[in-house]
Amino acid sequence: MNYKVFGLIFLFFVFAASICNASDTSARVRYMGTANFSMPTGFTRSAVCYISDNSNTSMLISQAVFGNLLEFSMLRRLNGNNKGKNSLNLKAKILEEGSIIPNIVYGIGDLNTQLGSKIFYFAGSKNIEAFGVQLHAGFYKDPVTTDKKMFYGIEKMVFPLVTLSAERNDDVDAYGIKLSPYPGVSLEFAQRNRKEEIYNINYYRSF
């Protein structure tokens, strides 16, 4: 075989593998605990969430303990290539929200390394009640490149039962709406990158 042709084929497969790897990494850093849409917030709480993200379905079960000091969660993947690989996650509150300071957590995603190495992150969230706004931000250590990457989110209540929400991670935006038809229940719809659809049904528990 011509060496130039072989070289081109080799480069093609390396490039294709890098694209798949980047896509896998992007998906891995989602749902590491209770979230805005898919990126973790700086709050700890108990919840059960059914997720349909770009046709990949999962269940996220979260439990806060020790007065919301810790949040343990499990992401159970129901279909796709990673079906049956259930990731365990942990959030630990390190700063309580005050009049000025945000609530801040330290988190570890995929504690049991179901999809690779653990993912470490910090996240902060702040309520601005006068404007009906919640702000979220944080950064995580990319499990492949080890680079630090930022993520941001905002929620704005426009009616008592309707909230507009957005988040940005790794230069990709997601925009959507959250409806609260019943106390403790949230129905969420969003689009990521204007093509991936996200449907979440959240039930927030008080125990």
Q: pLDDT tens digits, residue range 12-65? A: 433 333 333 444 677 889 999 999 999 999 999 999 999 999 989 999 999 999
Tell me yes or no: is domain 3-205 CATH 2.40.160.40: yes
The pLDDT, as a whole number, for residue 16 is 37
- Cross-strand pairs, 128: 133
Is the pLDDT at 10 greater than 70? The verdict is no
Domain boundaries, the chain: 3-205
The pLDDT, as a whole number, for residue 24 is 60
Q: What is the pLDDT of residues 66-101, one digit of tens each?
A: 989 999 999 999 998 889 899 999 999 999 999 899
Residue 35: Cβ-neighbour burial (10 angstroms; 0-12, 13-18, 19+) = buried
The pLDDT, as a whole number, for residue 23 is 44
The pLDDT, as a whole number, for residue 11 is 39
As a whole number of Å, the CA-based R_g of the chain is: 18
What's the length of the chain?
207
pTM of the model: 0.84
Q: What is the pLDDT of residues 140-176, one digit of tens each?
A: 999 888 899 999 999 999 998 999 999 999 889 999 9
